[in-house]
Structure 1
Amino acid sequence: MAHPRVLVLENQRFQRSVLIKMLDRLGLRDVLQASDGDQAMAQLMACGGVDIILCDLADRSLDCLDFLHRARQADLVQAVALCGELLPELLRAVMQMPSLSGLQMLGVLPPSLELHSLRRLLRRYSQAHSPFKQLPVPRALPDEHEIHQGLALGEFRAWFQPKFILGTGRLAGVEALVRWEHPTRGVLLPAEFLAAVLAYDLIDQMFKQLLEQGLSLLSVLRRQQVHLELAFNLHASQLLSDEVTLYIQQALLRYDFAGSTLSFELAENGLLDLSPRIQENLLRLRMLGCGLSIDDFGMGFSSLKLLCQLPFNQLKLDGECVRRMDEPHSQAMVASTLALARSLDMSLVIEGIGNQRIHEGVLALGCEIGQGYYLARPMAGYRLLPWLDAYFAGQRNAKNC
């Protein structure tokens, strides 16, 4: 695609000239400049708009936020990149923002104004606005009849993802994840059907099928002298009545498993407004011996008071929090969550360990349990059994060496 048109908004003449020269070195010739918001707006109106505005958010004399808002309202700009030195807390905030004043947020240039950093920001804009970039076409959610049929035919299956003790590689348990093995659309992830399952009030029926599949698998493993903790996801709304809690209790009795065999994960954003009935059913599950985990921790708004009041014994830190483990703010988030978990006598599981860098980073901070594609991918039950055979054989060989 053609080079984007850029407006440099900077009231320091030297800084402005440096930025313009850098843009020129990168091959951008269509570059406008302004020293204040009014001049910048006049330039935009005269030329019909630009693709990118490069401005110093920290310069109070420019009031960049107000200017960017006005420019976006007039549809005169598509994206923004920031330059200048920001306070650490501001830098942390804007680096996580996908947009600013309704504009695509490309990133922040370091105060040293490095050419390769500017090239990277411009590349982000080009990639997002490439004429060859095809936007995914969202699939319509399945209708109620299709889900009923899938449940009746047993198409909703538990897939299993192992969790590990990070320092030793020892298996810490397995999480059951739902997949819809659709006859024509292939294997569907929860994002493609879970909202519909909830909307049609079929979540309990689906959960019961997954629980039975999981306990059946544990029965097979028990005959092989293999004992694992198995975790399932629960939606907070499922605990508004006693039905699911009673079903879990009866299933444990039927399969002759202790409650400690099972753990249940509830998403943090579902715990913001808990009714007394939900709290009572959480207590019932803990009294059965089942583990309780706050899933996707770090993505909701749990209060310390809430954490102290509820009978959870585990936090699962969302994978988004560790994706950039080489950055100080991610390290601080992991370290503070680990300290919080320990102070509340909870274990901490790190989700989303997708590569060696993340694995080494969380291990260096003292995290003990982890889960992610780098360690093991989710797999169907018939694949988990040979995977476990190979895993335990490897563990025995390691001991004999």
Structure 2
Amino acid sequence: MVVALRRLGVYSVLQAGSGEQAMTLLNNDGAVDIVLCDLGYPGLDCLEFLNCARQLGLVRAVVVLSDLPPPLHRALGQMTHFSGLKLLGALSPSAETRALQQVLARYNTHSLTVSPINVPTGALPSEEDVRRGLDLGEFRAYYQPKCVLGSGDDAGAEVLARWKHPVRGLLLPKDFMAAVLAYDLVDELFKQLLEQGLSLLSVLNRSHHTLGLAFNMYASQLQGNAITEHIHRSLKRYDLPGSSLTFELAESSLLDVRYGIQESLVHLRMMGCDLSIDDFGRGFSSLKSLCQLPFTQIKLDAEFAQSLQQPRSRAMIASTLGLASSLNMQLVIDGISDTDQCQTLVDLGCLLGQGTHYASPMTSHQLIGWLSKTRGMRPNRI
């Protein structure tokens, strides 16, 4: 494949035999336009790598390589995205140069419709820098409201991490989460965001106003009982009900849910907390898992709201809405950015949504001001 690429004039090629090695190369050498990923290569955690690379803005498009059965090959041929990335095509690893050229030629067309690639400004933050930021309280909770479609009434808010770095300014998760995970500091970051969120809820409750908050979690954090016990103690300390919290877990992290994680999910539900499958439609969770695990909400990946003009996206939304209804779960549509998208979703029967059409992520003080306007609250009472 590398020889074929060079025949086509592509000389800047990085090679890796594992997802971990590929991430190291990308972090050191910078982003790439296209990833050629062999789904059948033993030990290559292709899906996990693609999800991580996409979240960090290190890849624009993907070509899937594998000797697939004809039905699966045809299915991939109908897809426009794979693991959240533009899918240029599916090839056999032994494909001829001409076939590879035809697939790569599609990149020019796709690159016109995707946003400019977000190349990291430098290497990952050092462990010392991240730990210093955590110790000094530089990681702050930002809040993006969830709303009732149509009316715009608030229906809770998602808690998002931001790093107020003293040198680099305000950093987004794509700038630091890989480092937080690499240095095994994700629990510490979660605890700080939880503390800030519960403090905000306590302030609102004293003014007789309630609000539900959703926190992002990794399934691996629930392998033991340390995090669930911390959540229980924190709720008790603030005298808040578990029903005020929702925990969002990415669909891709639920492919291998071990017993300890299942038990922690049950414990969270017993506390009254809600559980949401985040980025639904991007991963490959089975209906069996969806029915067996105690989730109460499905949060559809933002890709579908952004591509409502495609019949595939509308079909996905309609089918997920029916699935959620049959399982007595809420459906939240993420990524709503304009009035037309909102109206189309309302016409499809959707009730809840989130996106810049309603509000961008904001600080706790800004959220209180936003709630004051939407609810008619008096800011001087808070």
Task: Mark the CA change 1:134 to 1:299 in structure 2 (over 3 Å): closer, same or farther.
Answer: closer
Q: Distance in 1 between matches of 2:345 and 2:265?
A: 30
Q: Which residue of 2 aligns with 1:76?
A: 8
* From 203, 224, 237, the counterpart of 1:254: 237
State whether residues 318 and 352 of structure 1, in contact with CA within 8 Å, keep that contact through their aligned partners in structure 2: yes
Larger radius of gyration: 1
Structure 2 length-normalised TM: 0.73
1:178 correspondence with 2:161: yes
Task: Mark the CA change 1:125 to 1:366 in structure 2 (over 3 Å): closer, same or farther.
Answer: closer
1:364 correspondence with 2:347: yes
Q: Which residue of 1 aligns with 2:286?
A: 303
| SS in structure 2 at match of 1:379 | coil
CA offset digits 1:381-400 (Å, max 9, x no partner)? 121111111222299xxxxx
Q: Distance in 2 between matches of 1:232 and 1:335?
A: 26
State whether residues 164 and 173 of structure 1, in contact with CA within 8 Å, keep that contact through their aligned partners in structure 2: yes
Q: Which residue of 1 aligns with 2:79?
A: 93
Q: Which residue of 2 aligns with 1:353?
A: 336
Deviation at 1:364, TM superposition (A): 1.1
Over the matched positions of the two proteins, sequence identity in percent amounts to 49
Q: Distance in 1 between matches of 2:241 and 2:75?
A: 47
State whether residues 165 and 171 of structure 1, in contact with CA within 8 Å, keep that contact through their aligned partners in structure 2: yes
Q: Distance in 1 between matches of 2:112 and 2:226?
A: 53
Out of 298-307 and 193-202, give the one that drifted further.
193-202
Out of 278-287 and 159-168, give the one that drifted further.
159-168
1:287 correspondence with 2:270: yes
Q: Which residue of 1 aligns with 2:295?
A: 312
- Counterpart of 1:76, as a letter, is L
Task: Mark the CA change 1:383 to 1:75 in structure 2 (over 3 Å): closer, same or farther.
Answer: same
Deviation at 1:158, TM superposition (A): 0.4
CA offset digits 1:52-93 (Å, max 9, x no partner)? xxxxxxxxxxxxxxxxx89954633789xxxxxxxx967742
Task: Mark the CA change 1:98 to 1:72 in structure 2 (over 3 Å): closer, same or farther.
Answer: farther
Out of 197-206 and 282-291, give the one that drifted further.
197-206
Task: Mark the CA change 1:124 to 1:319 in structure 2 (over 3 Å): closer, same or farther.
Answer: closer
Q: Which residue of 2 aligns with 1:115?
A: none
Structure 1 unaligned residues grouped into runs of 5+ = 1-68, 80-87, 108-120, 396-401
Q: Distance in 2 between matches of 1:237 and 1:95?
A: 26
Deviation at 1:371, TM superposition (A): 0.1
Q: Distance in 1 between matches of 2:245 and 2:117?
A: 43
Q: Distance in 1 between matches of 2:229 and 2:177?
A: 23
Structure 2 unaligned residues grouped into runs of 5+ = 11-33, 35-73, 92-99
State whether residues 149 and 352 of structure 2, in contact with CA within 8 Å, keep that contact through their aligned partners in structure 1: yes
- How do 1:2-401 residues align onto structure 2 when only pairs under 5 Å count? 72-73=4-5, 75-76=7-8, 92-93=78-79, 97-100=86-89, 136=119, 138-393=121-376
Q: Distance in 2 between matches of 1:284 and 1:257?
A: 16
Q: Distance in 1 between matches of 2:117 and 2:261?
A: 44
Task: Mark the CA change 1:149 to 1:251 in structure 2 (over 3 Å): closer, same or farther.
Answer: same
Q: Which residue of 2 aligns with 1:28?
A: none
| SS in structure 2 at match of 1:386 | helix
Deviation at 1:139, TM superposition (A): 2.3
State whether residues 247 and 273 of structure 2, in contact with CA within 8 Å, keep that contact through their aligned partners in structure 1: yes
| SS in structure 2 at match of 1:265 | strand
Task: Mark the CA change 1:125 to 1:150 in structure 2 (over 3 Å): closer, same or farther.
Answer: closer
Deviation at 1:272, TM superposition (A): 0.6
Deviation at 1:125, TM superposition (A): 6.7
- Counterpart of 1:93, as a letter, is M
State whether residues 245 and 281 of structure 1, in contact with CA within 8 Å, keep that contact through their aligned partners in structure 2: yes
CA offset digits 1:123-144 (Å, max 9, x no partner)? 767899xxxx998355211111
CA offset digits 1:311-338 (Å, max 9, x no partner)? 0000000001221101111100111111
State whether residues 106 and 125 of structure 1, in contact with CA within 8 Å, keep that contact through their aligned partners in structure 2: no
CA offset digits 1:133-162 (Å, max 9, x no partner)? 998355211111011000000011100000
- Counterpart of 2:191, as a letter, is K
| SS in structure 2 at match of 1:322 | helix
Out of 96-105 and 280-289, give the one that drifted further.
96-105
Aligned pair count? 303
Out of 162-171 and 205-214, give the one that drifted further.
162-171
Higher relative contact order, chain-length normalized (CA < 8 Å, sep 6+): 2
**Aligned-pair Cα RMSD in Å:** 2.9
Q: Distance in 2 between matches of 1:195 and 1:343?
A: 37
Task: Mark the CA change 1:279 to 1:324 in structure 2 (over 3 Å): closer, same or farther.
Answer: same
State whether residues 268 and 300 of structure 1, in contact with CA within 8 Å, keep that contact through their aligned partners in structure 2: yes
